[in-house]
Amino acid sequence: AQSVAQPEDQVNVAEGNPLTVKCTYSVSGNPYLFWYVQYPNRGLQFLLKYITGDNLVKGSYGFEAEFNKSQTSFHLKKPSALVSDSALYFCAVRDPMYSGGGADGLTFGKGTHLIIQP
């Protein structure tokens, strides 16, 4: 089975400070990991993904994420937060070894509300 957890429902950060949104996963093989962002009343927008290679992945809008296999984590980070980064962030996983129901889709976490305070 494949699963992903976002332990924080909400993260509050002051504008200009670094931000981290946490994600941990559980898979039987080597995971494919994704981050998406959802602005109010909008669809999910792809930010970045880890497939293989360098553990630090850079994505859109200045975001990056670090894959840590020993800690089974894929935390989303940004060095300096903007008020416009306030949104709902989703981590998602795909286990290439998984062949159960919904195998060709992604399994999403519950989402983390990121609030950037001016």
Residues that bind other proteins (CB under 8 A): 32, 34, 36, 41-46, 49, 51-52, 90, 94, 96, 101-111
Judged by beta carbon, residue 15 or residue 66, the one nearer other proteins is 66
The least CB distance from residue 78 to other proteins, in Å, is 20
102 CB-near residues (< 8 Å, 6+ apart): none
Judged by beta carbon, residue 34 or residue 74, the one nearer other proteins is 34
State the burial class of residue 2 (Cβ atoms within 10 Å of its Cβ: 0-12, 13-18, 19+): buried
The least CB distance from residue 40 to other proteins, in Å, is 11
Judged by beta carbon, residue 3 or residue 71, the one nearer other proteins is 3
Nearest-angstrom CA–CA distance, 39 and 29? 32
Compute CA distances 53 → 5, 68, 81, 97, whole Å. Answer: 23, 12, 27, 18
β 10-14/112-117 pair status = parallel
Judged by beta carbon, residue 101 or residue 118, the one nearer other proteins is 101
The least CB distance from residue 107 to other proteins, in Å, is 8
The least CB distance from residue 75 to other proteins, in Å, is 19
